[in-house]
Amino acid sequence: MSYTTSPEVRASAPGFLRLAGHPVRWQLLGELARSDRQVRELAALVGQRQSLTSYHLAQLRDGGLVTMRRSSADGRDTYCSLNLAVYRERLAESGAALHAGLRLVPAEPAPPTGTLGEPPRQAPARSPVRVLFLCTGNSARSQMAEAILGRLGGSRVEAASAGSRPKDLHPNAVRVMRERGMDISNARSKHLSEFADQRFDYVISLCDRVREVCPDFPGAPTMVHWSIADPAVEAADQDSYQPFVRTADELNTRIQFLLYAIEHAQTISGRS
């Protein structure tokens, strides 16, 4: 008896798998899944020469998995970010290419469970996860992030924001949030010193400059950096409202993935 292989199986592995599966690139993706990083930081973290690290990052950038932008704190540095939405799409496509049953969909938080015929058990009460967003002015990015996380996270999270050099809330930040059903018009810009003695689970810097001056917080929170351009600066250059729309969209995507990570961490801690 002879056997033949289908054309789909004979085809080479999807380019995404070859791209992401290289040991060094997989390490780089793992580091960027946790936080945006400078190229030199990534070289140290993966234990490779900076030239080789840059080569692999360029491969990931050309494949659409990583974006790179000049630091707003020091133009000689470059920050790298993992494009989580694209990564998820390529991963789902790769699974479906092997079998339709392997098409991935975003995970949903598990509902309370009970035995058959009984009402669901209530999940154990948990203190909300506290997240602090930081940028320089606390006038746009961090205020927008606070509002989005508060909306998407509900009672699971407690969001706050502050800046190293607070200034008045930008009217376009108010506008873009209002268009998404969130009113931040009465939000107050705050200096990060107001939170210096408070405990947070996550401290997320959204600005390259504030990352350089971020103080230590009690309780060793998870420190994360999202290198996001200041929409007010971009709008001044382009005379456009669109930078605020792009920033809100990017924050919305990143915060959705943050909530998956929070849910996973709580599930793991509940098992331990």
Catalytic residues: 135, 207, 214
Closest CA to 192 of 233, 132, 255, 130: 132
Quick check: 156 and 129 in contact, CB under 8 A? yes
Pairwise CA distance, residues 16 & 87, whole Å: 9
Bridge partners for 160 per DSSP: 132
Inter-residue long-range contacts of 66-72, CB under 8 Å, 24+ positions, other chains counted: 66/28, 66/29, 66/32, 69/227, 69/229, 71/38, 71/208, 71/227, 72/207, 72/208, 72/209, 72/229, 72/230, 72/233
Pairwise CA distance, residues 227 & 36, whole Å: 6
Q: What is the identity of the amino acid at 41?
A: E
Report, in this order, helix, strand and coil percent for the chain, each rounded to 5: 50, 15, 40
The encoded tokens of residue 53 equal 């690290």
Quick check: 157 and 131 in contact, CB under 8 A? yes
Bridge partners for 69 per DSSP: 79
Closest CA to 146 of 157, 129, 133, 165: 133
